[in-house]
Amino acid sequence: MRVDNLRNIAIIAHVDHGKTTMVDKLLRATDAFRANQQVEDRVLDSNDQERERGITILAKNISIEYKDVKINVIDTPGHADFGGEVERVLRMADGALLLVDAFEGPMPQTRFVLRHAIDTGLKIMIVINKIDRPGANPEKAYNDCLDLMADLGATDDQLEFAMEHVVYASAMNGFARLDPNDGNMDMYPLLDMIIDDMPAPEVDENAPLAMQCVTIDHSNFVGRIGIGRVYSGTIHQGDQILVVKNDGSSATATVKQLFTFDYLGRTECQEVGAGDIAAVVGIDRTDIGDVYTDPENPVELEPIEIDPPTLSIVFEASTSPLVGRDGDIVGARQLKERLFNEAENNVTMKIEELEDKSGVEVSGRGILHLSVLMESMRREGFEFQVGRPRVLFKKDENGNKMEPVEQAVVECPDEYSGKVVEVFGTSGGIMTSMDTSGIVTHLEFKIPTRGIMGLKNRIMNVTHGEGVFYHTFLEYGPYAGEIGNRQNGAMISMTTEKAVAYALGTLQERGQLFVEPGTECYEGMIVGERSKAGDMVVNIARTKNLGNQRSSTSDISVQLVPPRTFSLEEALEYIADDELVEITPKNIRLRKRLLNATDRKKAAVRAGQVNK
């Protein structure tokens, strides 16, 4: 039976192609807000980090109503590091809007999210966004989308549907058109196409209940809330249901509260029918993949499988001499508790305590995925330290070592393309395609995840800031051998004091500084990068010896170059194996694992790096 008054659609796209802005405009077009209501742009990016970074991290559910049809809209993350969210939530949809920038066309993460939509069997409608952007080429972007769908193994039905259903839009200016030049200035052509042509849910309302939890929400008042689609039957408030876990175990539970999505909020209701998306309260410790079904006639659904993590980082309690200055949660026990709580809510992360109890290993889908967790923790008042990200290797059937391989794309002015190819060559990358037909050169590479670390800064340097760099996980491939690490040595503080301008003035001639006058430093902290290989221990508190002669003012003033500052991701990509990133609510510091210079020399001797 078709539920004609319901549509479930997901919006998928590469980062920054306009998904969340498009949802804003659909909400406005369907009168979701009062006439005088003050509404922020990108209303769905409710998380602080989402607004600051300009990306969607968590999938969001909303619903809009148009021509008496309820449209459940799922806004998905565009970044491959949050792909675990995409894989799960697409199960709730019957169709997807593929948003593509009319200037950039399909990008690496378009491939990533589109592959999941095709594998899930969704009908895909192409929306060419930003058609009013200078240099936009909507026709090429549309053809590239069809080529990409064919390349990813789309069925004939999916390709036919995409060919016949294309909309040209500018989410920023709030219009959608069936032809780029037809002059329409509202969103109704897109909404009409969703209502008329997107498939309605095909369900059996009389079959036993079957619902699968794909997203977990948490409330301090009622605990975990399981969100998912009702595939068959009807779920009622007060129902006694059977909860079947991914491992096959099961237990009964009572539905205490039931909600459906209503514009930006949720509405409590007594029952939710097949085809709709519901939020269920009352299932203790419910988890991703749990199936809610009828105890008398249980229904089996496919378990949710998620791509494995590719990177791991060890979290440790901070051993810095400045520990406790910025944050108020510094203990190893609290750190462990916080990380194991994260494991309950974040199914895409694998969190395990090390055998020697010295720290907790957190595995995720990429540096951004892991750094979002670190940023959340530092905002909560935690102080901790982390080591260099390690790639997770695995073995194939023949026992050969395999490592994660990424697809990387660089777009840059033609004169810098040679330098970009050279940088990738030294990092284990292999060029797979080069297109010089547009305004900029488009280069694609396959490169081990190990080679990606620290690559963005090098690309920005050789392209003089004009390059655009994206990468996404592609597959596990054969181990690519040794890849060169950081070439330059570090400047390491020898004392625990504040940095002094006079000392920094002499040091900046030897390399690039990471600190400024007045910065609290400690022994073993990395204060700069040398222009040569090999580490150098420096005195950042050295002052000028005063003689009995007068000195002119010009002799006293020191001209300092502004120091290089690191974001959390840049710091994680920068450090070497024997270094750590110290993370506090106010500071990100780089340091050596062994703070004392003598201890570092002894360790080097033991490792056979230095002759006795």
Read off the pLDDT of residues 520-554 as tens digits, 9 standing for 90 and up.
999 999 999 999 888 999 999 888 776 666 555 54
Q: Are 423 and 416 in contact (CB under 8 A)?
A: no
- pLDDT value of residue 516: 92
Q: What is the DSSP string of 485-511?
A: ---S-EEEESSSSB--HHHHHHHTTSE
pLDDT higher than threshold 60 for residue 592: yes
140 labeled part of a ligand binding site: no
Q: Which two tokens stand for residue 147?
A: 């080529």
Same domain? For 464 and 594 the reply is no
Q: What is the pLDDT of residues 181-200, one digit of tens each?
A: 888 888 899 999 999 999 99
Strand partners, 493: 538
Mean pLDDT (the chain, rounded)? 84
Q: Contact at 8 Å (CB) between 590 and 566?
A: yes
Could you tell me if 186 and 73 lie in one domain? yes
Instruction: Determine whether the annotation assigns residue 18 to a binding site.
Output: yes
Q: Does residue 359 sit within a domain?
A: no
Q: Quote the pLDDT of residue 60.
A: 62
Tell me the residue type at 248: G
pLDDT at 181: 87
Could you tell me if residue 440 is inside a domain? Answer: yes
Whether 480 shows a pLDDT value over 60: the answer reads yes
Domain closes at, from 172, 197, 222: 197
- Return the pLDDT at 306: 66
State whether 38 and 99 are in the same domain. Answer: yes
Query: Apex CA 262: angle with CA 202 and CA 300, to 5°?
Result: 40
Q: Do the annotations mark residue 586 as ligand-binding?
A: no
pLDDT at 35: 42
Decide if pLDDT at 40 tops 70: no
Domain boundary among the residues 449, 478, 507 is at 478
Please indicate, yes or no, whether residues 432 and 568 belong to a single structural domain of this protein: no
CATH number at residue 405: 3.30.70.240
Specify the pLDDT at position 548: 63
Residue 377 lies in a domain: no
Question: Residue 263: CB partners within 8 Å, gap ≥ 6?
Answer: 27, 32, 62, 63, 64, 65
Residue 454 located in a structural domain: yes
Q: Which of 104, 244, 101 is nearest to 172 (CA)?
A: 101
Confirm whether 536 is domain-assigned.
Answer: yes
Query: What strands lie across the sheet with 511-513, from one edge to the other?
Result: 511-513, 526-530, 490-493, 536-538
Q: Is 464 annotated as a binding residue?
A: no
158, pLDDT greater than 90: yes
Do the Cβ atoms of 439 and 383 come closer than 8 Å? no
Domain that residue 144 falls in: 6-197
Give the gyration radius of the chain's Cα atoms.
27
How far apart CA 234 and CA 229 sit, in angstroms, is 11
What is the CATH number for 32? 3.40.50.300
57 pLDDT above the threshold of 70: no
Bridge partner residues of 63 (DSSP): 72, 263
Residue 478 identity = P
For the cut 80, the answer to whether the pLDDT of residue 509 exceeds it is yes
For 554-573, write each residue's pLDDT tens digit. 445 678 889 999 989 889 98
CATH number of the domain within which 274 lies: 2.40.30.10
Residue type, position 346, single letter: N
Residue 612 lies in a domain: no
Instruction: Output the pLDDT for position 110.
Output: 78
How far does the chain reach from its first CA to its final CA, in angstroms? 81
At 35, list the tokens.
């006439």
Please say whether the beta carbons of 527 and 516 come within 8 A: no
Percentage, residues of the chain above pLDDT 70: 89
For residues 568 and 588, the answer to whether their CB atoms sit within 8 Å is: yes
pLDDT digits (tens, 9 = 90+) for 235-281: 999 989 999 987 788 889 899 989 888 877 788 889 899 889 898 98
Asked if residue 17 belongs to a known ligand binding site, the reply is yes
What the block records as the tokens of 239 is 């129902």
Among the three residues 448, 478, 508, which one is the final residue of a domain in this structure? 478
- Check whether residue 173 and residue 227 sit in a common domain: no
pLDDT tens per residue, range 59-108 = 567 888 888 899 998 877 755 555 556 777 888 899 999 999 998 888 77
- The predicted model gives 39-66 an average pLDDT of 55
Indicate the helix (H) or strand (E) that contains 425: helix 417-426
Calpha distance 63→263 (Å, rounded): 5
> Same domain for 162 and 269?
no
What domain count does the chain have?
A: 4
Beta-bridged to residue 177, according to DSSP, are 168
Residue 24: predicted pLDDT: 81
Among the residues of 492-581, which ranges form H helices? 501-507, 553-556, 568-574
For residue 131, say whether it is annotated as part of any ligand binding site.
Answer: yes
Nearest CA to 490 out of 516, 517, 510 is that of 510
Is residue 463 domain-shared with residue 503, that is, in the same domain? no
If we measure between CA atoms, which residue out of 123, 113, 202, 118 comes closest to residue 161? 123
Residues 461 and 523 in one domain: no
Domain of 533: which CATH number? 2.40.50.250
What would the pLDDT profile of 338-356 be if each residue is shown by its tens digit?
998 887 666 678 889 988 8
Better pLDDT: 218 or 153: 153
Answer yes or no: is 302 within a domain: no
Query: 217 and 103, same structural domain?
Result: no
482 Rama class: left (phi>0) / alpha (psi -120 to 50) / beta: beta
Q: Which residues contact 53 (CB under 8 A, 6 or more apart)?
A: none
Q: Are 190 and 176 within 8 A, CB to CB?
A: yes
Of these ranges, 24-33, 302-311, 419-428, the one predicted with the greatest mean pLDDT is: 419-428
132 annotated as a binding-site residue: yes
Is 129 labeled as ligand-binding?
Answer: yes
14 pLDDT tier (thresholds 50, 70, 90): confident
- pLDDT tens digit sequence for 425-451: 888 899 998 988 767 888 999 999 888
State pLDDT tens for residues 304-348: 766 678 889 999 999 999 998 888 888 899 999 999 888 766 667
Cross-strand bridge partners of residue 431: 445
Please give the pLDDT value at position 46.
44
Reported as type and span, the H/E element at residue 599 is helix 597-606
Question: What pLDDT sits at residue 37?
Answer: 44
Nearest to 232, CA basis, from 298, 290, 304: 298
Q: How much is the pLDDT for 554?
A: 47
Same domain membership, residue 150 and residue 247: no
Same domain, 229 and 185: no
Is 60 part of a structural domain of the chain? Answer: yes
| Mean predicted confidence (pLDDT) in 583-602 | 92
Please name the amino acid found at residue 150: A
What's the rounded Cα separation, in Å, for the pair 92 and 74?
Answer: 9
Mark whether 217 and 73 lie in a shared domain. no
pLDDT of 50 over the 80 cut: no
CA 427 to CA 450: how far, in whole Å?
Answer: 8
pLDDT at 612 over 70: no
